[in-house]
Amino acid sequence: MSASAQAAPPAGLSALEARLRQDLQWLELPPKPWVAPRWHAGEPMADVVVIGGGMAGLAAATAMRWQGIVPLVLDRAPEGYEGPWATTARMETLRSPKQLTGPALGLPSLTFRAWFEAQFGLQAWEALDKIDRLQWMDYLRWYRQVLGVEVHNQHAVDRITPCADDRVVLDVNGPLGARQVHARRVVLATGRDGLGAAWVPPWANALPRAQWAHSSDKMDYARLRGLRVGVIGVGASSMDSAGCALEAGAASVDLLARRPDIPRVNKGKGAGSPGMTHGYVDLPDEWKWRIRHYVNEQQTPPPRGSTLRVSRHANARFHVGCPVLEAQSRDGALHLRTPKGTFVFDFVVFATGFRIDVDARPEYAPFASHIRRWADRYQPPPGVADDELAQSPDLGPAFEFREKTPGACPGLSRIHCFCYPATMSHGTVSGDIPAISEGARRLAQGLTSLLFREGIETHYRHLVAYDEPELLGDEWTPADGPVGH
């Protein structure tokens, strides 16, 4: 044990919270709200509505608050259950290294480490390998509470309609019923599938829906007890689903992967640097495509711990180079034909990821067809076609959507896409833990600039009307001319 590890006992959360209050006070955060108000039908409009109170929504809301913008945050999930961590995620620990500063926005006292050490001490921190998944959710709950981020939970945004008069109308359904919210700007902090949905291969349609699930579905894995389970894919979620099925007592779990081997190297992690975080957004299109396509093509390996969680079971089998050629349901069993033979399962879990597909989200219907995608303006060189990149929105500097046909959807640029599909335009700053603070600050600064420009007449009037004197006129006496004249 190092000398430092023997140091003082944990200071406790209340001490950390006192320090955080002090930090915020010293930094004069948050500043006073300054945005010029706008009204619609006699009601004040929301300056910014953030849809999603997960990590990205919380970080974005805080970064805005620290720019003097007060957003309205809505999330359809119950309080404390935003995002995947305590709902659909099944890994034991996060993949992300424990020391990442995540949504701390540059404040040491807001980091996971500070929160952890305050409660469990330095020795426990040094002993910690990876962050426990549910503990990460606890940290996010604390983050929200200690910063006073007001999230309106159980409020689903069912429809988002950009209007020609510089407004976006949101149809919101909450515990008190349906209502409309009028906003000047809207931020979609809607997560990994934030502009689409879970994806399954077309052959899934040949199987009875009761006998398959996507890895992101809410499901009690106890129902897999005694069953022959197939898991499609060998990424992180495949291991998590397979691990849960095995721990729930599945008779067997076969993981089937198209690719000839399981990837070993996490290229995305290797690419992380302040240069990439801040410089990617300004790269020429060719470089953005090259980088993102390479990372996509290499694919991300499942974490070692998650893979060992599966392989320690004798009834788990890994099959690579094993694409499903045909699927049939016969006599209550699922028959999947592959080049390595036909597998017979009772249940299949698709760990086949998510797809950008705006049409899959009814709330985006009023504007989905107007979003300019990369496919609308960029033709990649031969041999590097990439559907995910082609479908990605081609975003502006404040993550705002742009119109495919200028003038066809006024108000579209008032919707800002701060979720995973922004990656192609902005780099990995709008979802994952490593650079979420940088993304949130980029978004908040962009919104600040836009809201200031829009209110410039009011701000100019305030400038002209401002009359608080610093000199009272009694500090000096005007002289008559040069001395001795």
Ligand X SMILES: Cc1cc2nc3c(=O)[nH]c(=O)nc-3n(C[C@H](O)[C@H](O)[C@H](O)COP(=O)(O)OP(=O)(O)OC[C@H]3O[C@@H](n4cnc5c(N)ncnc54)[C@H](O)[C@@H]3O)c2cc1C
Residues that bind ligand X (CB under 6 A): 51-57, 74-77, 82-84, 89, 94-96, 156-157, 189-192, 216, 237, 363, 419, 431-433
Contact 240, 89 (CB under 8 A): yes
What is the Cα–Cα distance from 406 to 396, expressed in whole angstroms?
Answer: 14
Cα angle value 192/77/209 (rounded, 5°): 70
- Judged by CB, which is closer to ligand X: 147, or 157? 157
Q: How far is the CB of 106 from ligand X (least distance, A)?
A: 18
Instruction: State the nearest-atom distance from the C-beta of 84 to ligand X, in Å.
Output: 4
Q: Phi then psi for 209, rounded to 5 degrees? A: -60, -30
* Preceding peptide of 30 cis, ω within 30°: yes
The residues, any chain, with a CB within 8 Å of residue 256's CB and separated by 6 or more, are: 230, 231, 232, 233, 319, 322, 323, 324, 336, 338, 343
CB of 51 to ligand X, least distance (A): 5
CB of 25 to ligand X, least distance (A): 28
CA torsion angle 348 354 357 363 (round to 10):
90
Within 10 A of 207 (CB to CB), how many other CB atoms are there? 20
Q: Please state the closest distance from residue 166 (CB atom) to ligand X, in A.
A: 22
Q: CA 242 to CA 407: how far, in whole Å?
A: 49
> CB of 368 within 8 A of CB of 359?
yes
Instruction: In angstroms, give the least distance from the CB of 41 to ligand X.
Output: 23
CA 164 to centroid of chain Cα atoms: 29
Closer residue to ligand X in complex, CB, 92/166: 92
> Is 161:409 a contact under the CB 8 Å cutoff?
no
Strand, coil or helix: what is 322?
Answer: coil
Which of residues 363 and 403 has its CB atom nearest to ligand X in the complex?
A: 363
- HSE-CB at 52 with a 13 A cutoff on CA atoms is 25
Question: What is 192-230 written as a DSSP string?
Answer: TTTTEEE---GGGGGS-GGGEEETTS---GGGGTT-EEE
The nearest distance, CB 436 to ligand X, in angstroms, is 7
Residue 166 gets the label, from left (phi > 0), alpha (psi -120 to 50) or beta, of: left
Nearest approach, Cβ of residue 85 and ligand X (Å): 7
Smallest distance from ligand X to CB 303, Å: 8
